[in-house]
Amino acid sequence: MSTPLNIPSVKMPSCPNGESALAEDDVERLRKSTVVKLYVRVSALSYSNSVSSPVLPYLIVYYGGGAAESGLYQAFNNLFGNLGQVLWGGVGDVSRTRKLLLFLGALPSLLTPLTLLLTLVFTQGLEPHLVICVSFIATFLGSASAPIIAPIISELAISSKESLRLFVVHSNLSTLFSILGNATATLVLQMFSQNTFQSFASLFLIALLSAVLALVTTLSIPQTVIDVRSGERHKSEEHVRIFSKVADSFTIALRNTKFKDFAFANTVYTFSMSIAWPLFILTQKNVLNLTPAQITSFSIASTIATIASQYLMGVYLRRRFYRFFTLLNRFGLVIVPLVYAHALNYTQLLLLNIYTGFLSGFTNIIFPMYIIECAENGKRATYIGVYNTLIGTASFTGSLLGGYLSSILIEVLGLSQGLRAAYYICTIARTSSAILTLKTREYIL
């Protein structure tokens, strides 16, 4: 159970009961308003990102990129989206910088569409490597807030039950506004289907406006509320010691056997899963000739399924079922490359995205809660940062391998047969890692 929030700047008078009660009311008001602002922030960010992000892989292929470029995009986004999290997580745990990290996490949602919009306006096109570069820098900065969201919510809650409820609401808002963003993108792409420049420029402008709201909301969050625990716990530490503690983050987290086994199994599985990621856009655009609007509709279907799944997890999930639902996710995703290998039309991939979205909802809720359960007090963001860094490194390696492997196979066997061979390799890898997860007895006790 989380300790009730305490604001050090609010002095509790010892004599008049009315003044003491008022101070307690102020604390509760600040707590609730901060939760609401976190909800607004994640809603605006999710909307902004989901308006523009789904078209970035398409833009890379549209402007001349192939399997190798698609692999680089996936690899660098996965790596840089997670690489900084051990640093961000460690800093968030040992210093009063949570508000700064929240701001850094929101800033790329403004800079990415702004950069791409200006480039598109002045050059009438986008180089694939520019999209890759802008995207991975944005994901590195955007990862700043990822390790601290769950700890902030956990510490704002007055009980473990409320902590789970707040986190589920936060996750569902993120997913809901992702749906709205994807729907906006699909509508805009459909409206301007004959004018590629206008459709992409419109999406970047919409994303830009939503990002402004997210940044303004982030700046309005009171630092005394979200930094109170880390600030009180470490206020006597010298600033220079922060980075030595961050450097020890991996050692600290991986000494925990429970966490280490969990992280190892998921790292191996993520590596095997990510091999297929660069191939999906090639099948969608170059094999099935799907339109940008059809491709973005996959995100809508997937996120609707995810929010339904997360709602069910929030209402019915019990601790004893963590392992069951996680293994259901791990084995359920094995079939994805096989479906892509033999996909004939849009409908088949649409149904597949609904299926994978529902499975993703399981681990979206379970994994952060389990990591927090594993972590010692004061190390929650550090553990999340270490975990995400391991996952990012695995997905970087897998995506890079998948991109270059498929390039070779396509060159030798042709587009359709080369992709099919690559998908078969991905299926074997996923099956092997899912079995490893099952055999790891310490995996989610």
CA distance 74 to 60: 11
Task: Please give the mean pLDDT across all residues of the chain.
Answer: 82
Give the pLDDT score at 394.
92
Q: Work out the widest C-alpha separation in the chain, in whole angstroms.
A: 84
Average pLDDT over residues 146-160: 78
Residue-level pLDDT at 158: 79
Q: State which of 157-161, 243-247, 384-388, 412-416 shows the largest mean pLDDT.
A: 412-416
Given a cut of 90, whether residue 359 has pLDDT beyond it is yes
pLDDT of 401 > 70? The answer is: yes
263-267, 380-384, 418-422 — most confident range: 418-422
pLDDT tops 90 at residue 174: no
131-140, 240-249, 276-285: least confidently modelled range: 240-249
| Cα 399 from Cα 408, distance rounded (Å) | 14
Q: How far apart are CA 216 and CA 248, in angstroms?
A: 34
User: At residue 17, does pLDDT exceed 70?
Assistant: no
Mean pLDDT of 220-228: 70
The tens digit of pLDDT for each residue in 38-95 reads 999 999 999 999 898 888 888 898 888 888 898 888 888 878 776 766 666 666 655 5
Cβ(217)–Cβ(38) under 8 Å?
Answer: no
Mean pLDDT along residues 400-421: 93
What are the contacts of 113-116 at 24+ separation with CB within 8 A? 113/48, 113/52, 113/203, 113/204, 113/205, 113/207, 113/208, 113/211, 114/204, 114/208, 116/52, 116/200, 116/204
Average pLDDT over residues 131-142: 87
| Nearest C-alpha neighbor of 153 from the set 318, 365, 357, 334 | 365
Measure the CA–CA gap between 53 and 326, rounded to whole angstroms. 27
What is the C-alpha separation between 319 and 377, in angstroms, rounded? Answer: 20
User: What is the distance between the alpha carbons of residues 241 and 244, in angstroms, rounded to a whole number?
Assistant: 5
pLDDT for position 13: 39
| Euclidean distance between the first and the last CA atom of the chain, given in angstroms as a whole number | 19
**How far is Cα of residue 203 from the mean position of the Cα atoms in its chain?**
21
pTM surpassing 0.85?
A: no
H, E, C per residue of the chain: CCCCCCCCCCCCCCCCHHHHHHHHHHHHHHHHHHHHHHHHHHHHHHHHHHHHHHHHHHHHHHCCCCHHHHHHHHHHHHHHHHHCHHHHHHHHHHCCCHHHHHHHHHHHHHHHHHHHHHHHHHHCCCCHHHHHHHHHHHHHHHHHHHHHHHHHHHHHCCCHHHHHHHHHHHHHHHHHHHHHHHHHHHHHHHHCCCCHHHHHHHHHHHHHHHHHHHHHHHHHCCHHHHCHHHHHHHCCCCCHHHHHHHHCHHHHHHCCHHHHHHHHHHHHHHHHHHCCHHHHHHHHHHHCCCCHHHHHHHHHHHHHHHHHHHHHHHHHCCHHHHHHHHHHHHHHHHHHHHHHHCCCCHHHHHHHHHHHHHHHHHHHHHHHHHHHHHCCCCCHHHHHHHHHHHHHHHHHHHHHHHHHHHHHHHHHHCHHHHHHHHHHHHHHHHHHHHHHHHHCCCCCC
What is the reported pLDDT for 7?
32
Cα separation, 333 vs 208, in Å, equals 34
Return d(Cα 100, Cα 307) in angstroms, integer: 29
Within 10 Å of residue 413's Cβ, how many Cβ atoms?
14
User: Is residue 304 predicted with pLDDT exceeding 80?
Assistant: yes
b vs e for 361-370, b when ≥16 Cβ sit within 10 Å of the residue's Cβ?
bbbbbbbbbb
- Domains in the chain: ranges and CATH: 28-229+250-439 (1.20.1250.20)
- pLDDT of res. 6: 34
Least confident of 8-22, 100-114, 179-193: 8-22
